[in-house]
Structure 1
Amino acid sequence: MIIYSTDPRKGYVTKSAIENMRSSLAREIFRQDLLQIYSEQTIQRNTLTEQSRNTLREHLEQMRTGTYRNTVIEDLMSRLAEKLKHTTGKKQYGYLQIPLKELVNKIVDELAKDERVAAAYAKWYELRNEVLRTYKDKLPGPIPLSQQKEFKQIKNIVIAEAIDLGNHRLTFEGDENAEPTHEEETAGGDDTPGPPMAEPEVVLHEVVEDQDYNFYDTPSPTPASDSGDEEPGKLHIAWNDRYKEARTLLYGNDDMEPNFEQALQLFSEEAEDGNALAMHDLGRMYMDGLGVEMDTDAASCWYEKTLSAFMDIETEKENRYIEYRIGKMYAAGLGTAQDYEEAAGWFNTAVLQNHKYAQYSLAGLYYRGQGAAQDFYTAFELYRRAARQQVPYADYELAKMYRDGVGTERNAEEAELHFEEAFYGFRKLEEQNHDDKLQYRLGQMLYTGTGTEKDVEAAIGYFEKSARLGNVHAQYMLGRIYLDADSGHENVLQAILWLTKAADNGNDLAQYALGKLYRDGNHVEMDIQKAISLFTLSAEQDNSYAAYALGKLYLTGVEVPKDIDSAIKWLTLSAELGNQFAQYTLAKLYLAGEDVVSDIPKVLELFLKSAEQGNQYAQYQLGRFYLKGEHIPKDAKAAIKWLTASAEQDNQYAQYQLGKLYLLGKDVSPDRETAVHWLTHSAEQGNIYAQFFLDHLDSFRDPSLLLAATRLLHHLSRIFHEEERRLPGGPSIQVESKLRRKIREKKLAQGHAPDDHEQKITTY
């Protein structure tokens, strides 16, 4: 062994060097024994570090959620605000004159005297020293908070607060988290959600008519025959025995399950004989894949033949039923391009002959403004005429109009009466036809308790009958019910089966619901790509919730790489489809101006659209805009309107701001009673600023100054939190290369396992 000094000026070995040599030799001689000791020390140190980290987090939470009254800080902030008014140049700490810097430092150090801050700072120091101890034998002593470089940003925050005080700028304390929760976003369409419960508007070709009315109660005789003695191949409509048997085989009855293959055969025979009704049924079977592979081309071909046959029959002899059926095909775009105006003309011709289903169908066009100018009053009268002739669909629409006050005065009693009439009318029709659309509608009314007592079990029975006939709405509803743990009928396997079937059949609600399961890994293995695929299929059918879900996935960049262009694309589609949360999210993006170019007019437009749909967060943001008057002219009246709308939905931030305004008499007449009302509601939801005001109602000091220390306390808690994340064990920790090298050198000197490093010659 050769021992020498590394310092050429010293010709001897110092006592400290001898101690280092002894320590090093002992580590090498007893390496294996020490490894066990080091391992145990590491475990103990990690345990202590985690305990310290948890304690620090508790202190930070106390800072974040607490209030702080300090008259010294209030006086210092008041002095700083006044001095900054007369200061030119850049108002940041590094550019201030020394006297102002000292004043800022005093404020920071006064803030550090608070026991919560002092405890957090001490614990932070303890954790930080764990890092330094790895490569330093002598640790630096604690220094004042104002001199700690890791916390220097608090100084500029103090300056910014003082500037706001000096300018008497309106402050919005504690609203950093004034954002919709995941539950709120999904309650309207993302976690059951989606679009509301499946109640699609009944499209015209889905209306099931009363057979007896169409063929026996028609004033003018139809070319229909019940004897089957029509000339073979001649176009006609006939409700004959073979056609009725085919219908029974298609829909089944109480004694017999549907038999699609046999139904297809009989319909084909009838169609070859020229029965236009059978041609239409064949189109439907090919379209829905009943008893045959789904074939939209074949379906279109049969629908074209049907329409042509109806036109020929009607030309030969006018008939209100045929005119009605022609109108239905134009309205639905079956066998021809969709043409609402042409449909309205045919319906009107049949209405002139008092055809009740034509009355109902024409009413729908007036209601929606399709093929005719939108006219709720005309729609209401036509629905009423049809309802008087016992059309349950008309009763159902009348009930909604009475309920909502559309086209007539609101009348809850009339609404309930017509819902009941609709339910019993649908049930009577279903007993005749066993049609999947009727079964679905009956199931839906039983499920929601509309027009009848709520009966989920009976609803499931109707939904299952309808679903087996290929009704995608019923398939989706079964999936929803079986997925709902609170329904009393939870069956996850059946739920996924029906949702998958409905999704495969193109139902956008099912695609969206199934996409959420794969996105969240609920009941199925998480598969983001499958979720995206399902969301895309749904969004392409204008499902605003699916488009919103896609936009959020690409925006957050957690499960998939962040893609702002895709996020904007889908959020914009969702917003244009009227999704209030997409409108709000887009508005926030354009307001921030980070991922997209800032566009204030667009921000206001989107916030307004969202707010008008009752979005409390958009209402709050609009109130904020109008009150601050930064990007638009200040409008206190508009601000109060939107803040009140938001506050009435229990938005604690709007309640607090309103309470503060009424208490201070800024922009509104002072109203202590109203102020206390809103502040109390806000405080009951945990708003500490509202509680602070309630505790200091009789203070004559500027409330902004009163709150200055509290605001600084909360700013400091955020800075501490950021620094805590950088400490060992924190998330996303990245060690700087120079520090990493020092740590490695220290570990080498501590005698880590042989495969950690090659043995090095130690010099002293």
Structure 2
Amino acid sequence: MARLIVKSPYIKCTGSGNAAGVGGYLRYIGTREHVQKVADDRPPTRKQEQLVAKMLRDFPAVKDLDEYSDYFEHKTKANASALITMALEENWSAVSQMDGYMKYIATRPRAERLGSHGLFGDEDSVDLKEAMAELNSYTGNVWTHIISLHQEDAARLGYDSAQAWRNLIRAHRNDIAAAMKIPPKDFRWYAAFHDEGGHPHIHMMAWSAKPGQAYLTRAGIRQIKSVLTNDIFKQELLHIYEQKSASRDELVRQTRQEMLELIRTMQTGLCDHPEVETLMLQLAQGLETVRGKKSYGYLPKPLKALADQIVDQMERIPAVAQCYEKWLKLQGQVDSYYGGDERKRQKLFQQKEFRAIKNAVIQEAERIRLGEITFEDEDLSAADEPESARYNAVFYCQYRDKIYDTDLPLDERDYAVEQMTTAAQAGNPYAQHLLGKLYRDGTVVIPDAEQARDWFQRAAEQGLNVARYALGKLLLTDDPLVRNIPAGLYWLEQAQQNGSSYAGYRLGKEYLRGEIVPKDVPKALEYLNDSAQRGNQFAQYTLGKLYLLGRVVPQDRRLAERWLKLSAEQGNEYAQFFLDRLDQFRTPSALLAATHLLRQIGSMFHDNSLPKSGPTGIRYTDHKLRQREREKKIALGHKADDHEEYQGPTMSM
């Protein structure tokens, strides 16, 4: 893609009136003429060669100019002239004090004219003498922007005349002022167009009416380049976008699909990584000495380096490494479509989009240090709120299945909801429970926590145990419209007393956490034991881990093994993970560290799997929409870490 080149040196003005200073530069850019073209086979003159050699000694950065590349590849008189001109203009502040260069400048011919000279600015006409006098008496810094295009790009896009450049700069003078931290009313500028060699360009002198006010950073230069580029190339960018939108969409689809497969691997698998365990234990020990906030930005350098090392180890896991490569490929391709800078390959811990991984590492280490209990129950969603297999009324099953059938037209699903509502209003507790879930999850209907609570309560008061459990969870959420901790605990206890192993497990978790109720380990163990004896694999796993850790209860490997085996027999992979490592004498909480981190990394890749912006500044907010959906579900009955959400019309236990 064509590109705009912007360079922004500046001259320190003394107000001495020196004609070779800033005023002289203004006269130079306003009165010299573009170089006459000569045949490419004409070699440079000896004086040109000598001057180029001197410039390379005096100003080594000349080698970075495009004009130098042209001259180096084709040493012609025209290319030498273009190189000398650009090199002189970029180094004017030093050149103006050197007699050898000033002699060369004094003999140069004039610029393309818009009247008696080539200067233009805010006004329709510029008085060269007055402008020079103004600058010669100025005591602040004057920036001498050089903005250029390749010859073929300038011709194709219509920027091969002073008029086009004047219109462009006038249209964006306030944008340039903002980039230079100058209020528009104080912004002063003049410019002239030079059709030089293969790089037509303008010289723009810009300053503030108030000396010392202007300030231009690298970010400001990028800002100037961006706003001018968007205008110059807007039609071409739109054309390219139209041509490539289909291929971009296909690239995004294919790459995201590949990433999602790898993400699923990260989010469902377990990770045995002894190196990460060792480093996590070291970090946990190091956090003992940290006072105040435990986040990456507040840690001493040695602990930051340790966190970076842990992320680096995680990057070596094949699924993470492959997913990261896919992400880099996707971002690089999309960036190239929109003319962005080439994305450099960095380590994962250096990538700004994934800096949250470092804080995830620190939080995991802090949990290890504090001995916090974690609940690995992601699979609970697959068995949440089982309905009674005994209730198989034809009308209920028929309309329930239609409601959840996403292949059906929406009007058919709406009709099924209407029929289910009629049955619920008539007092059917199963229909009431189902409506509660629909309003809680926003399935077909608009989410409404109060409606969900009311329907759950009607069913719960009729003795439907799954409704008691659902109502208890909903009342424990952070949604102020429905939050009622005493009532939530009451309904969970009612469900538990009537045989719900899920309610017993949830109550056990709450009394172990001690967040919404005072921590009560004996009471938690009572609920967990009841739930585990009823066959709940999550309660069995939790008990097994507690007896293995030996922190809140005395360590008992026999009991730990018993409960872990019962849980593993039901397919609990975490329980099997610990069983396989009972004889390895590794810290149980550290054993899970890599798995917890792997799943969080998977979530971060999922949230970063779309490009953030397009050619017209559109923000892609897929990850934000997912976050809002997650927050909505939390507000409607799901804790952030229990993942308890019904995912289909399953009727069996």
Cα contact 1:550–1:567 (8 A) shared by 2:
yes
- Pair 1:693-2:578 in alignment: yes
Q: Does 1:11 align with 2:194?
A: yes
- Measure, in 2, the Cα distance between the counterparts of 1:149 and 1:14: 41
2:275 aligned partner: 72
Letter in 1 for 2:278: D
- Paired residues for 1:646-661 under 5 Å: 646-661=531-546
Shift of 1:666: 4.4
Matching of residues 403-442 of structure 1 within 5 Å: none
Letter in 2 for 1:651: N
SS in 1 for 2:608: helix
Which of 179, 184, 202 pairs up with 2:381? Answer: 179
Distance 1:180 1:58 in 2: 19
The alignment yields a C-alpha RMSD, in angstroms, of: 3.8
In the TM superposition, 1:673-692 aligns within 5 A as 673-692=558-577
Question: For residues 722 and 641 of structure 1, what CA distance do their matches in structure 2 show?
Answer: 39
Helix, strand or coil: the match of 1:85?
A: helix
Q: Does the 8 Å contact 2:613/2:619 carry over to 1?
A: no
Question: How is 1:143-162 mapped onto 2 (pairs within 5 angstroms)?
Answer: 143-162=346-365
CA contact (8 A) 1:647 1:654 kept: yes
Higher-Rg member (1/2):
1
Which one-letter code corresponds to 2:475 in the other structure?
Answer: Y
Taking a change above 3 Å as real, the CA distance of residues 686 and 738 of structure 1, as seen in their structure-2 partners, is farther
| Matching residue of 2:290 | 87
Hey, what does 1:135 align to over in structure 2?
338
- Aligned counterpart for 1:519 among listed residues 403, 413, 420: 403
1:559 to partner: Cα distance:
1.0
More helix by share: 1
Q: Report the identity percentage.
A: 37
Q: What is the CA-CA distance between 1:122 and the residue it aligns to?
A: 0.9
1:31-59 Cα offsets, whole Å, 9 max, x none, are: xxx99x986x7666554543322221222
One of 595, 598, 617 as aligned partner of 1:713: 598
Q: Which residue of 2 aligns with 1:585?
A: 470
Q: Deviations over 1:424-475 (max 9, x none)?
A: xxxxxxxxxxxxxxxxxxxxxxxxxxxxxxxxxxxxxxxxxxxxxxxxxxxx
Distance 1:601 1:663, change over 3 A: same
Cα deviation for residue 703 of structure 1 reads 0.9
For residue 617 of structure 2, what is the aligned residue in structure 1?
739
Gaps of 5+ in 1: 19-27, 195-479, 481-509, 728-733, 743-764
Task: Provide Cα deviations, 1:366-399, integer angstroms capped at 9, x if missing partner.
Answer: xxxxxxxxxxxxxxxxxxxxxxxxxxxxxxxxxx
How far did 1:104 drift? 2.5
Q: 1:517 Cα shift?
A: 5.5
**What per-residue deviation string (whole Å, max 9, x for no partner) do you get for residues 487-510 of structure 1?**
xxxxxxxxxxxxxxxxxxxxxxx5
**How is 1:379-458 mapped onto 2 (pairs within 5 angstroms)?**
none
Does the CA contact (< 8 Å) of 1:625 and 1:632 recur in 2?
A: yes
Alignment-derived partner of residue 392 in structure 2: 193
In structure 2, do the counterparts of structure 1 residues 570 and 647 end up closer, same or farther at CA, with 3 Å as the change threshold?
same
Contact 1:626–1:632 (CA<8 Å) still a contact in 2? yes
Structure 1 CA distance, aligned partners of 2:331 and 2:405? 39
Residues 569 and 102 (structure 1), Cα distance of their counterparts in 2 relative to 1, 3 Å cut: same
Give, in angstroms, the shift of residue 640 of structure 1: 3.3
Q: Does 1:640 align with 2:640?
A: no
Pairing 1:423-502 to 2, within 5 Å after superposition: 480=394
CA gap 1:666/1:95 in 2 versus in 1, 3 angstroms: closer
Q: Shift in Å at residue 175 of structure 1?
A: 1.4
Q: Deviations over 1:126-167 (max 9, x none)?
A: 112232122125412122222222222222222221221111
Q: TM-score, normalised by structure 2?
A: 0.54
Q: Using structure 1 for the length normalisation, give the TM-score.
A: 0.47
Summarize deviations over 1:699-734 as a string: whole Å, max 9, x none: 32321012212211111111112222x34xxxxxx8
The alpha-carbon deviation at position 527 of structure 1 amounts to 3.2
User: Residues 570 and 13 of structure 1: is their aligned pair in 2 closer, same or farther, counting only changes over 3 Å?
Assistant: farther
- For residue 597 of structure 1, report the CA deviation from its aligned partner: 5.4
Residue 121 in structure 1 maps to residue 304 in structure 2: no
Inter-CA distance 17–551: structure 2 relative to 1 (3 Å threshold): farther
1:570 aligns with 2:455: yes
Letter of the structure 1 residue corresponding to residue 567 of structure 2? S
Kindly tell me the number of residue pairs found equivalent between the two proteins.
404
Assess if the C-alpha contact under 8 Å between 1:655 and 1:679 holds in 2.
yes
**Equivalent runs, 1:516-665 vs 2, <5 Å:** 516=400, 519-520=403-404, 526-594=411-479, 596=481, 598-665=483-550
Deviation string for 1:529-583 (max 9, x for gaps)?
4334333332233321111122222222231222222222212222222222222
State how far apart, in whole Å, the 2-side matches of 1:574 and 1:582 are: 6
In the aligned structure 1, how far is the partner of 2:480 from the partner of 2:389? Answer: 27
Shift of residue 697, structure 1, vs aligned partner: 0.6
Aligned-partner SS, 2:342? coil
Per-residue deviation, residues 158-212 of structure 1 (Å, max 9, x unmatched): 222122111112222x213423647x634458xx636xxxxxxxxxxxxxxxxxx
User: Deviations along 1:341-386, whole A, 9 cap, x unmatched?
Assistant: xxxxxxxxxxxxxxxxxxxxxxxxxxxxxxxxxxxxxxxxxxxxxx
Structure 2 CA distance for aligned equivalents of residues 144 and 594 of structure 1: 40
